[in-house]
Structures are given as C-alpha cells and as structure tokens.
C-alpha cells in the first residue's frame, strides 16, 4: 500500500498535573494514548489533530503493529497522497479521556482504590477532552495546529477548540456535526444507556469485579446506533426486505419461515454488528461518551445564542454535511454556518449529496474526498515551512 502510513504503534503520555473538569471534579493523573503520522516541520506549523467520535480511537490511519487486520478508522482520509496528506502534514490521533482504547478511562485502576474506576470515573465533557488534548499538544511542542478536524462528536471537539483555544488552530474542520443534540438524539442515547444499565451483568458499572460484561445491553445499544447512522435508503438498498434463508415452506408464494429467529438480512446484520461491538467496547465508556454528546451545547451559557458562543473563534472553518444524514442533518451544520457568518468568520460549507446517512463521513465518497483534498491542499500551500 503506497498510500498507507504503514504499520503504526501507539505512544503513551502521562500527565501528573490535575485536570479540572466541567463537572467541578478533577482528575489527578491520567495517560493519553496517541499515534502520529508524517513529520512535524521545522516551524512546527503543519500539525493536524484528528478528534474521534463515539467508538473510535487514536488509531486513525495505517495498520496496527499488534493486529494486521486493525486498519485505522479514517485510513481512507489520512495518508501519503490522501486528502489529509501525511507527506504535507504531521497528523495526530488521540484517544480521549474516558475511552476504552488505552487512555485513562473507566477500565483503568482508580488510584484511590486500586480497582477499576468503573462508574466512579468522572463525567467528562467535550470541553474536558479539548483541554486534555491541548496538554498533549503542549507536550509535543505544538503551539498552533494547522487544523483540528473531526466528524460527528469529533466535529464538536473541533468546534470547541475554536472557542477554547482560538489562537491555537488556523482551521477548524467539522464534518456531519451539530451545535447540540436534539431531543430525539438524546432520546436514542437514553434508550441505549437504559439497555446497558438494566442489563443484570452491568452490576451498577462494577461488572469487572464479576468477571462479566453487559453484552446484551451493549448489543442493543449498538443496534440502535447502527439504525441511526445509516439512511433509510441505504438500508433499503443494502438489505431491503431480503430474507436470510431459502424457502423451506411449501405453501404457494410463501417463502417466509414464520419464526422469531433471524428472518430478514437486516436482522442478521444488526445482530452481528451488535455482538461484535459488545466484545470490544466498554459499557462504562459508552455511558460516558453518550453523556458528553448530550451535554455539548456551547450556546447554552449564552442564552441559546450560538453566534455569541462562537464569537471567540478566530480560525477559518470548513463544515460539511450529508444529505441523507438524519442523525446530524444538514440543517444542524447550517446553524453553525449561520452563526459563524454572523461573526464574519471565513467559512466554507458543503452539503454533499451522499446516500449513506451519518456513516458517510467515514466513507470514501469522491465528492467529499475531493472537497477535503482541496481544502487541505489550500492549507498546505499557506504553511510556514
């Protein structure tokens, strides 16, 4: 693969200064796991930070050294010659605080008890993540990012960067995101959380002590997620009402099985995805990250005025949304665009006609990638060397 960053190995940094959290609590010490691709230039001006969404990690691109099947979640976007070109940029992927892929989170030992934090891990917000990421940037000697970039929940982090550290990024790239969740978004998160916390194997979040995990709850949570990530059209095209098994019933015109088992392809797909997810994702992390999603609402402290909330931002912006994304619909990106324009910021906005719903931000859509490539080429041209 000439366009891959190749084999990647995560790095780890320990932070011993307490981090004050939005909740009023603080976390005394923590570790962040990250990967980097490309080279930081002499003027340290070409760094790009990639923020991840709910279930992703620091492993943005390339092939994991420990697992040849573990390709980075945005490998189609980041690499040599790719839209975010690692021949031009020094790209950093970081696993957020509270996640379950190496950074300090609910599975990590609580220094106070020596046992996993579990439900005692403090509630973290998008702003808390950004503060932790800024410390990582300090440690890596990066004063100012060429761009901070993310999709969905990652886009919320990019937005928060623009207001919390206005002088520390030149460009904010926020894709398929929203200035806050709708009641319907929160409702889907709440159902997923209920499925997890009511699973008897959840044990109030202390399931590690019982050598089990709430697999059934996680499975249902993931199934709900999948339905909302995909567009109705994509589901219709990929699965339609196709039956999973050939007919065994001899009634004329009847090839249903009439059973409560898996009957339609879509059921089989969702169960498979749910089961896979339940084996690798931590339940407490799921609760934590969906809560961070729910809480994100920068306009709240400004009486709902998003332009006022975004007023501190100084960087340029690229926003993109996808026509069939009903979870973070184009209207939500337009709210952000309108607020930025009211602040006379430089904004590029693209509404991409793509069939794949919210998932589109992860996929290799030619119009989407052409947009990203053009924008990052422009950034590269303006870099101090």
For residue 201, give the 3-state DSSP assignment.
Answer: helix
Residue closest to 292 by CA, chosen among 136, 141, 130: 130
Asked if residue 315 lies in contact with residue 160, where contact means CB atoms within 8 angstroms, the answer is no
Q: Which is nearer to its own copies, 92 or 195 (CB)?
A: 195
Question: Which one of 52, 358, 359, 365 is the catalytic residue?
Answer: 358
**From 85, 325, 359, 365, active-site residue:** 325
Q: Are 364 and 76 in contact (CB under 8 A)?
A: yes
By beta-carbon proximity to its own copies, the closer residue of 40 and 235 is: 235
**132 alpha-carbon distance from chain centroid:** 16
Whichever of 112 and 183 has its CB closer to its own copies, that residue is 183
Min CB(207)–its own copies separation in Å = 14
Q: Is the dihedral of CA 22, 162, 14, 96 positive or negative?
A: positive
Question: 113 or 212: whose CB is closer to its own copies?
Answer: 212
Dihedral, CA of residue 71, residue 9, residue 52 and residue 114, to nearest 10: 120
The verdict on whether 99 is a catalytic residue reads no
Those residues with Cβ within 8 angstroms of residue 345's Cβ, 6 or more apart along the chain or in another chain: 310, 313, 315, 316, 317
In whole angstroms, how close is the CB of 116 to its own copies at the nearest point? 16
Note every long-range contact of 26-32, with CB atoms under 8 Å and residues 24 or more positions apart, other chains counting: 26/122, 27/97, 27/104, 27/122, 28/111, 29/104, 29/111, 30/97, 30/103, 30/104, 30/132, 31/102, 31/103, 31/104, 31/108, 32/94, 32/95, 32/97, 32/103, 32/104, 32/132, 32/133, 32/136
Minimum Å gap between C-beta 236 and its own copies is: 5
Give dist(CA 220, CA 175) in Å, integer.
Answer: 26
Give catalytic status of residue 59 as yes or no: no
Q: How far is the CB of 164 from its own copies (least distance, A)?
A: 14
Residue 152: CB minimum distance to its own copies, A: 18
Distance of CA 286 to the CA centre of its chain: 12
Q: Which residues bind its own copies (CB under 8 A)?
A: 22-25, 119, 123, 125, 180-184, 186-188, 190-191, 193-195, 197-200, 216, 219-220, 223-224, 226-227, 230, 232, 235-236, 238-241, 249, 251-254, 256, 258-260, 263-264, 266-267, 270-271, 274, 287, 291, 294-295, 297, 300-301
Compare residues 70 and 120 and give the one whose CB is closer to its own copies: 120
SS3 35: strand
The answer to whether 317 and 348 are in contact (CB under 8 A) is: yes
Q: Where are the alpha helices (DSSP H) in 143-264?
A: 153-164, 183-197, 215-229, 232-238
Q: Pick between residue 138 and residue 232 the one whose CB is nearest to its own copies.
A: 232
Whichever of 46 and 278 has its CB closer to its own copies, that residue is 278
In the residue annotation, 152 being an active-site residue is answered as yes
Round to whole Å and give the CA distance between 74 and 143.
Answer: 25
Alpha helices in 69-146 (DSSP H): 126-139
| Residue 62 beta carbon to its own copies: minimum distance, rounded to whole angstroms | 33
Annotated catalytic residue, options 152, 231, 278, 321 = 152
| Least distance to its own copies, CB of residue 288, Å | 8
Active site residues: 152, 325, 358
């Amino acid at each position: 693969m000439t366009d891959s960053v190749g084999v990647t190995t995560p790095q780890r940094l320990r932070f011993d200064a307490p981090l004050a959290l939005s909740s009023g609590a603080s976390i005394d010490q923590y570790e962040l796991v990250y990967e980097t691709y490309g080279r930081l230039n002499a003027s340290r001006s070409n760094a790009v930070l990639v923020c991840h969404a709910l279930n992703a990690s620091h492993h943005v691109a390339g092939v994991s050294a420990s697992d040849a099947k573990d390709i980075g979640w945005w490998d189609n976007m980041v690499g040599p010659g790719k839209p975010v070109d690692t021949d031009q940029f020094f790209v950093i992927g970081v696993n957020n605080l509270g996640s379950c892929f190496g950074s300090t989170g609910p599975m990590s030992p609580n220094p106070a008890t020596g046992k996993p934090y579990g439900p005692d891990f403090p509630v973290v917000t998008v702003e808390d993540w950004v503060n932790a990421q800024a410390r990582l940037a300090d440690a890596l000697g990066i004063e100012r990012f060429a761009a901070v970039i993310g999709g969905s929940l990652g886009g919320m982090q990019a937005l928060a960067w623009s207001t919390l550290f206005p002088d520390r990024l030149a460009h904010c790239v926020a894709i398929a995101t929203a200035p806050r969740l709708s009641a319907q978004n929160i409702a889907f998160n709440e159902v997923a959380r209920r499925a997890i916390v009511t699973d008897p194997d959840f044990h109030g979040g202390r399931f590690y002590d019982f050598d089990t995990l709430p697999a059934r709850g996680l499975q249902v949570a993931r199934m709900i997620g999948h339905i909302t990530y995909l567009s109705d059209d994509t589901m219709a095209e990929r699965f339609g009402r196709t039956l999973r098994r050939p007919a065994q019933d001899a009634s004329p015109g009847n090839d249903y099985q009439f059973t409560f088992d898996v009957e339609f392809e879509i059921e089989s797909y969702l169960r498979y995805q749910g089961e896979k997810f339940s084996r690798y994702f931590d339940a407490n992390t799921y609760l934590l990250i969906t809560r961070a999603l729910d809480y994100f609402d920068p306009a709240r402290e400004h009486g709902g005025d998003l332009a006022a909330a975004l007023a501190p931002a100084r960087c340029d912006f690229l926003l993109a949304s996808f026509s069939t994304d009903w979870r973070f619909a184009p209207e939500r990106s337009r709210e952000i665009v309108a607020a930025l324009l009211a602040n006379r910021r430089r904004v590029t906005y693209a509404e991409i006609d793509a069939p794949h719903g919210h998932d589109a931000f992860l996929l290799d859509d030619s119009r989407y990638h052409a947009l990203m490539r053009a924008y990052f080429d422009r950034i590269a041209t303006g870099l101090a060397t």
